[in-house]
Amino acid sequence: MRRYVISATCLAWLAIIALLFGPARVLAQPAASKFEAQLIWGTNDSKSPDPRHKPVTPEILERLKELPLKWSHYFEVNRRQFALATNEGKRIEMSDKCDIEVKNLGNSNVEVALFGKGEKVVKRTQPLPSGEILVLGGNAPNATAWLVILKRIK
Amino acid sequence: MMEYNQQLKLQAYLDGELPEAEAREVANWLARDREAVALLTELRNTRQALAGFEAGFRVPESEDFYWSKIRREIERLEPVEAPVRPAIPWFKRLRGLLIPAAAAAVLAIAGLVVMQELGLRQRGTPGEAETALADAGTFTYRDFSARATLVWLTYPAENEVAGEDPIGTMD
């Protein structure tokens, strides 16, 4: 009887330890996430005056067309990929005038700040799970637009 | 020494249970074998003795009633005793209750701690929040089918930066 009591007590403690430390430690593991940011120029012209610009991928084009944007052509100006551990933040230069600062808050959440000419324009915090995109955009001269697309790729 | 089957056959012969042909064989066998005759005689005497004993006994009541009385008397003299369980000390019984109760309580507390941790983490995540700075007006559009969030900024205003660059203000 005494042996069974000891065994039951050991099992109970093991269960407690597993419950306390197992999930907590798994959750606490800093998981690095990979992100991709693209600077896009939107226009109704079929060609970009800058030969370095290339059309966006069909996947991005399709998703942009589902948004209430009026432009028919989108060109990729710059693309940056970067990895962020949980609670890590990085400032990414997208162009001479445009930077973004992305912080991985964990649990699929990100904090994104957009800088225009070095000045912080907007800061946004939201979930950004894999497969979702965050599009920051604004009007540009000659009825065109600039867009920064951020997505988690891993 | 006579075999068992032969003994049985003699018993059947005595009881008149054998067919005629077999009965004849047994009769011939008896004419030749003294041992068989001796056994047959013994069996016959035994049957007669038993028959005489049974004939002299009469139960005063009906059989059912007679035997039921015997059964009742046996039951009265030997009451069925419930098995006596050894007395368990109160502290052992208490311990038996405390162990699972304590385990359940500790598990519940552990669950609460984990849930609280998860809850704090969940609460710690900010959901969606947006801060517009530098006089930027923004509007947000969420398209669930496209799995996309669009944040449109009026900053920088076209007349603020436009004209310097043929392509745009931010790119």
Shortest CA distance from A39: residue in chain B: B171
- Longest CA–CA span in chain A (Å) reads 87
A12: exposed, middle or buried (Cβ count in 10 Å: 0-12, 13-18, 19+): middle
Asked whether residue A61 is assigned to any structural domain, the reply reads: yes
Q: Do B125 and A127 touch (CB under 8 A)?
A: yes
Q: Is B134 on the interface with A (CB under 8 A)?
A: yes
pLDDT at position B20, please? 93
Q: Which residues from chain B sit within 8 angstroms of residue A127, using beta carbons? A: 125, 127-128
> Residue A117: which region, alpha, beta or left (left: phi > 0; alpha: psi -120 to 50)?
left
Q: Nearest residue of B to residue A98 by CA position?
A: B170
Contact of B133 with A120, CB cutoff 8 Å: yes
Model confidence pLDDT, tens digit, residues A5-50: 555 565 656 666 665 665 555 555 556 899 999 999 999 999 888 8
Q: Is residue A131 part of a domain?
A: yes
Nearest to A123 by CA among B155, B123, B144: B155
Q: CB contact, 8 Å: B116 with chain A?
A: no
Integer angstrom CA distances of residue B64 from A75, B56, B60: 110, 20, 11
Q: Kindly report, residue by residue over A59-90, the tens digit of the pLDDT.
A: 999 999 989 998 999 999 999 999 999 999 99
Structural contact between residues B148 and A132, judged by C-beta atoms closer than 8 angstroms: yes
A142 inside domain: yes
| Partner-chain contact A27 B117, CB within 8 Å | yes
Which residues from chain B sit within 8 angstroms of residue A118, using beta carbons?
none
pLDDT at B57: 65
Residues of A in contact with B132 (CB under 8 A): 121-122
Which of B147, B151, B161, B170 should one mutate to test binding to chain A, selecting the residue with the greatest count of A CBs within 10 A? B170
Sequence-ordered list of residues with C-beta below 8 angstroms from that of B122, at least 6 positions apart, any chain? A107
Task: Flag if A141 and B163 touch (Cβ within 8 Å).
Answer: yes
Whether the pLDDT of residue A145 is over 80: the answer is yes
Please, what are the averages of pLDDT over each run of 10 residues along chain B (171 residues)?
A: 88 92 93 92 88 67 84 84 77 81 85 70 56 68 88 63 42 47
CB contact (8 A) between residue B133 and residue A69:
no
Check residue A126 and give its pLDDT.
92
What residues of chain A lie within 8 A of the CB of B171, using their CB? 39, 41, 77-78, 94-95, 97-98, 140, 146
- How far B136 CA sits from the closest chain A CA (Å)? 6
Using DSSP, state whether B68 is helix, strand or coil: helix
User: How much is the pLDDT for A20?
Assistant: 61
Q: How far apart are CA A44 and CA B85, in angstroms?
A: 94
A70–chain B nearest CA distance, Å: 13
State how far the Cα of A93 lies from the Cα of A78, in Å rounded to an integer. Answer: 9
- Could you tell me how many CB contacts below 8 A there are between chain A and chain B? 181
Cβ distance B145 to A66 less than 8 Å, yes or no, reads yes
The reply to whether B80 touches chain A by the CB within 8 Å rule is: no
How much of chain A exceeds pLDDT 90, in percent?
Answer: 59
For residue A60, the Cα-to-chain-centroid distance in whole angstroms is 15
How many domains are there within chain A? 1
Distance from CA of B152 to the nearest CA of A (A): 5
Is A20 contained in some domain? no
Report ipTM for this prediction. Answer: 0.79
The alpha-carbon gap from B111 to the nearest alpha carbon of chain A, in Å, equals 7
User: What pLDDT digit, counting tens, does each position of A92-122 carry?
Assistant: 999 998 999 999 998 889 999 999 888 888 8
- Give this prediction's pTM: 0.52
Please name the member of A16, A63, A124 whose beta carbon is closest to the beta carbon of B110.
A16
pLDDT score at B163 = 37
- What's the average model confidence in pLDDT over A121-140? 92
Q: Which domain holds residue A140?
A: 33-152
* Pairwise CA distance, residues A78 & A73, whole Å: 16
